[in-house]
Structure 1
Amino acid sequence: MATDSYTLLSALGTLLLGLVVTVILVCGYTYLVTLTRFQINARKHPNSSAKTQLAHSPPLVPYFIPGLGSTITFSNQNIGAYWKWLQCQAARYRQDAFAIILAGVHTNFIFSEAGISAVFKSRQLSREKLDQQLGMNVLGMSKEDSVKAFPYDVAEKEKSSVARIYSEHLLSSSAVNALTSKFMETFRAELESDASLSEGVEVDLYDFLWKKVFVSSTTAQCGSTLLEMFPDFSTDYQVWEDSLLGLLFGTPRLFARSAYAARDASVKKLEAWLEAGYSKPLKDGEDPEWEPNFGAKVMRKRHDYYHQQELSIHGQAGFDLIALGGIISNATPASGWLLLHILSPTSPSDFRSRIMDELESSRKNDGSLDIPSLIRLPLLNSAFHELLRLYVDLLVVRQVDSSVALGGHYVKQGEQVMAPTWMTHRNPAFFENPEVFDPERFLTRDAETGKIGFSIAGLGGKYFPFGGGHYMCPGRMFAKQEVLGTVAVLLLNFDIDFVGYTGQGSGKHGFPGIKKGYAGNQVVRIEGDMRVRIKKRISGM
């Protein structure tokens, strides 16, 4: 008996050893083959954007594990770590594009100016299949609903209906101004209702800001009924928001229980909100810019689209979740980063005073803000675009529908293209001292008049915090007014004094750092916070 057991264990041990050796040999062989191909291709075709060269495929980064490729290294949650490594390889091999195997898909990273511009213009690239994946993984839609929500094999008139809705009801001046007005009204009311601000109170600035802006932005976009029905909606929403990219990449439910639970709870609440709103339709002929049940006009037009596409109530709720996230997930941290830099003692000594001088010039006689004036203030706008340059980690992702050359980079049908902002926004060839927050970076001076202005003209494929082309972020105009309005209301109406930094900030002198997360987080989240004492001015608001 003992001999038989020993023989069995010995056989199992030999089998296990054989499997381990086989895996090592396979991984080693895979790496040697891919490394050899990479070295040959990288040295054969340096600098893909050179005009004298024909378009060629970006060199494939070597990897160990067949099928999985570079998925594990790309999934490094120290934001920027993978891009910094890729920048080093780009400099070493004189490349402006690489390819990797990402979850089994041949993925081309393009970061040349010409290549990115071509990505935005190309008709051989699309996003619908990727959006359908987002619908199922991130929004909890059924496959049937995701195809209806993000159609690609339909008539052009239907296909562009969401784009038309955004063009008319989210990008037009009247729509943006209506949204901004409601946001500002709600934000001021949130501040007014906080009695502690009259006496003065110490708060963690970003935590304080996130709660106020969440209520104001949600109300402006979706109406007041949603938060009246579910005052705790932000709890599940914030967990879902922090887990969004993990869900998109298909993290198994076993390893992300809280993320899936938060997604499902958020969608369920939105279902109830939709059903309550549909039970109280507007009267014939009514079409207000905002109403309490469904908020801004753009949301009601989206709901008309849902019915056109015959989405289930569950699919509609998921689609509204991403609409809400598209605004809140970026405008809120952007407001936070801008305020942190304005108030930080590590910023230039005159930065805050110059911002205050500009803000005062945009205040009307009745104390309200002149928004058209606000969005033209040179230093404030330069600082806004600088925070987007430094803190946006956006991946412009496209599927390749037919093989095409993109500014010297040849990509094949069935592959995937990604244009990462981190690689261009922090490229020293494009921006001097790219790791430093420079609020004056985008300031200009008129040669004849000496007047100071700001401009991002001519940056093309170097700077694209809102993406580009047909899929450019439709909420960009409202987001900008929301961020600048938030900053203006706080600084003009409250005395805010720096107390210290809190949490695990990884920046210089304890300044808040970048929170861990997957690549492609858009405006990166804030790790750590700033403790401030905030008190309402007697003459404020």
Structure 2
Amino acid sequence: MASNTSVLSIVGGATFALLVTVSLVLAYTYLTTLFKYELDVRKHPDHGSKIQVAQHPPLVPYAIPGLGSTISFSNQNIGVFWRWLRTQAERYQQDAFSIMLSGTRTHFIFSEAGISAAFRSRQLSRARLDQQLGTNVLGMSKADSLKAFPYDIDEKEKSTTARIHSEHLLTPNAVNSLTSKFMEVFLQRLDSDRSLDKGVEIDLYDWLWQNIFRSSTTALCGAKLLEMHPDFDKDYQTWEDGMLGMLFGTPRLFASESYAARDSAVSKLEKWLEAGYASSTGNQEDLDWEPNFGAKVVRKRHAFYKQQGLSVHAQAGFDLIFLAGILSNATPATGWLLLHILSPTSDPKFHPTIMNELRSCQRPDGSVDISVLTRLPLLNSAFHEILRLYVDLLVVRQVDSSVAIGHHYVKQGEQVMAPSWMTHRNPAFFADPEVFDPERFLKRDEETGKLGYSATGLGGKYFPFGGGHYMCPGRTFAKQEVLGSVAVLLLNFDIEFVEFAKRDGKQPVGIDKDATGFPGLKKGYAGNQVVGIEGDMRVRIKRKNHIR
């Protein structure tokens, strides 16, 4: 008995000693980083001076060596970390901070000049992050990830994804062809839904997500993918929700559902690729769209995959992230825009004014003139306001060689991040930044008096599609997809608000004068781009007439 007591005492003593040691290490780490932080924040440069010495942004204090501020940065309540950082910026008059993020010093730069300088810098790139995305998020081998995202490639001799996107995704002919196909499929889906003839109650965003997902996927990848795998959307949605967690290295043990969905989605894409390659006739190269592989840009990407010697497994992962680049932003952006237009909490003049604009772009046969649609002042201003308010984009670059980014000095091996949430909601850049103002981007021509809209000239204040060499190549199609979807629904259907509801539609929360029922921000890691919608709007939707 005495022997057992002695052993327990030894174990207890060792545990206590370990706890004391850990506590001392944590306290020492926090106090030393806090002391250095307090010194550095008081040495901020005089922004009015012409002579400035570039300095490392102050490092936010932390307690856990190696892990640094990873836990606080990973807070999935959207905006919490950025609001805290904003208070620090205002308190110490700083326009950049650093944190230790999983062992890497990471600089958040949120001044207009600093962000613009980061976009221009040739010493910053993202190849390493892309390769990490390849292995963690897409399930590629390290060898395939290096081939898919090479550090350098001879653009004169070989094809690159940047050149493919420039020629087959950004040119007017290419994007208009893609938009036309999307609109065709979207209209076919709506036309085939007979429940819309007499009218039906739906949860608007959930219903919208399904229709846009299937229409976009068909326009991009052809009809065969969803014919072969009609449940592909379920894998995709689960994978998309966990994508950033996987990118940050969340172990499979803690995100088993996300990893399983990724593996299933990639497996289905592999089968689709193999079937498409087997049935390819070789005479479809110049078609704008064909059922096996869809749009020309996708087929050109497949040629790039083969050029790089990617396995079919890696090709499937690469197609998955390309699809996400289009869907992950356009779909929630459409949802947010429709929610604000239809909400009884919005300005009463907003909806009827939008309707008047939309009627001006409707042709005699009922179709929508996209070229007119993309110039409507209030609709386009509201679209940009949606991006300003709901985009949580992190432009991430690795520092390839030490350089000054404006008056910020960053070292080789570190990371630079430009957070849109900090700039898009900066009261110095935008008045009442937390408020949705659909007229924010309206401009009146001084000479003609004509009302228009503009998001140009904002530099590092507003960058919903990123910036520099890596700006989102699907931005033009995404905009036309969003505006086209909104136009088709509002012009062809009577949509009546019923109530705000939780996302699954089973627990309606009603409406009150404080608009507390309006859908909120879906939880997620920082950098989710267009933030997901938490909640929904129950509406009654009825076809005005048969869609042609």
Bin of the TM-score, shorter chain as denominator length: over 0.9
Q: How does 1:140-539 map to 2 (within 5 A)?
A: 140-157=139-156, 161-284=160-283, 286-503=285-502, 508-538=515-545
Q: Deviations over 1:45-68 (max 9, x none)?
A: 156686442211100000001111
SS in 2 for 1:279: helix
| 8 A contact 2:284–2:290 mirrored in 1 | no
Residues 1:3 and 2:17 are matched in the alignment: no
Q: Distance in 2 between matches of 1:192 and 1:374?
A: 22
Q: Provide the residue aligned with 2:119 in structure 1.
A: 120
| 8 A contact 2:148–2:308 mirrored in 1 | yes
Shift of 1:285: 6.8
Q: Provide the residue aligned with 1:36 in structure 2.
A: 35
% same residue: 69
- CA separation of 1:347 and 1:154: change in aligned 2, threshold 3 A: same
SS in 1 for 2:19: helix
Q: Deviations over 1:396-454 (max 9, x none)?
A: 00000001111111101110000000000000000000000000000011123221100
Q: State the one-letter code of the partner of 2:457.
A: G
Q: State the one-letter code of the partner of 1:69.
A: G
SS in 2 for 1:509: coil
Q: State the one-letter code of the partner of 1:142.
A: S
SS in 2 for 1:25: helix
Q: State the one-letter code of the partner of 1:259.
A: S
SS in 2 for 1:307: helix
Shift of 1:169: 0.2
| 8 A contact 1:125–1:401 mirrored in 2 | yes
Shift of 1:184: 0.1
- CA separation of 1:110 and 1:225: change in aligned 2, threshold 3 A: same
Q: Deviations over 1:49-107 (max 9, x none)?
A: 86442211100000001111000000000010000000000000100000000011000
| 8 A contact 1:49–1:115 mirrored in 2 | no
- CA separation of 1:158 and 1:72: change in aligned 2, threshold 3 A: farther
Q: Distance in 2 between matches of 1:431 and 1:519?
A: 21
| 8 A contact 2:235–2:262 mirrored in 1 | yes
Q: Distance in 1 between matches of 2:296 and 2:284?
A: 14
Q: Provide the residue aligned with 2:506 in structure 1.
A: none
| 8 A contact 1:326–1:475 mirrored in 2 | yes
Shift of 1:268: 0.2
Q: How does 1:49-88 map to 2 (within 5 A)?
A: 51-88=50-87
**Paired positions, count:** 540
Shift of 1:509: 2.7
Q: Provide the residue aligned with 1:130 in structure 2.
A: 129
Q: Deviations over 1:113-140 (max 9, x none)?
A: 0110011110000100110000000000
| 8 A contact 1:222–1:294 mirrored in 2 | yes
| 8 A contact 1:333–1:525 mirrored in 2 | yes
Shift of 1:286: 4.5
Q: Distance in 2 between matches of 1:50 and 1:8?
A: 67
SS in 1 for 2:279: coil
Q: State the one-letter code of the partner of 2:423.
A: T
Shift of 1:508: 3.6
Shift of 1:284: 3.7
- CA separation of 1:16 and 1:286: change in aligned 2, threshold 3 A: closer
Q: TM-score, normalised by structure 1?
A: 0.98
SS in 2 for 1:123: coil
Shift of 1:154: 4.0
Q: Distance in 1 between matches of 2:35 and 2:282?
A: 70
SS in 2 for 1:405: strand
Q: Deviations over 1:451-483 (max 9, x none)?
A: 110001210000000000110000000000000
Q: Distance in 1 between matches of 2:545 and 2:152?
A: 60
Q: Distance in 1 between matches of 2:248 and 2:221?
A: 28
| 8 A contact 2:66–2:103 mirrored in 1 | yes
Q: Distance in 1 between matches of 2:402 and 2:197?
A: 63
| 8 A contact 2:500–2:518 mirrored in 1 | yes
SS in 2 for 1:243: helix
| 8 A contact 2:465–2:472 mirrored in 1 | yes
Q: Deviations over 1:221-277 (max 9, x none)?
A: 000000000011001110001111011011111111100000000000000000000
- CA separation of 1:439 and 1:65: change in aligned 2, threshold 3 A: same
Q: State the one-letter code of the partner of 2:348.
A: S
Q: Distance in 2 between matches of 1:300 and 1:176?
A: 15
Q: State the one-letter code of the partner of 1:289.
A: D
- CA separation of 1:277 and 1:91: change in aligned 2, threshold 3 A: same
Q: Distance in 2 between matches of 1:285 and 1:277?
A: 12
SS in 1 for 2:42: helix
| 8 A contact 1:201–1:534 mirrored in 2 | yes
| 8 A contact 1:332–1:483 mirrored in 2 | yes
| 5+ long unaligned stretches in structure 2 | 504-508
Q: State the one-letter code of the partner of 1:287.
A: D
Shift of 1:192: 0.7
Q: Deviations over 1:147-173 (max 9, x none)?
A: 000000443546871100000000000
Q: Distance in 1 between matches of 2:409 and 2:275?
A: 51
SS in 1 for 2:55: coil
Q: State the one-letter code of the partner of 1:148.
A: K
Q: Distance in 2 between matches of 1:402 and 1:110?
A: 17
Q: State the one-letter code of the partner of 1:345.
A: P
| 8 A contact 2:392–2:529 mirrored in 1 | yes
SS in 2 for 1:9: helix
| 8 A contact 2:98–2:107 mirrored in 1 | yes
| 8 A contact 1:221–1:296 mirrored in 2 | yes
| 8 A contact 2:45–2:52 mirrored in 1 | no
| 8 A contact 1:46–1:93 mirrored in 2 | no
Shift of 1:540: 5.0
- CA separation of 1:488 and 1:96: change in aligned 2, threshold 3 A: same
Q: TM-score, normalised by structure 2?
A: 0.97
| 8 A contact 1:48–1:55 mirrored in 2 | no
Q: State the one-letter code of the partner of 2:522.
A: K
Shift of 1:366: 1.1
Q: Distance in 2 between matches of 1:538 and 1:115?
A: 52
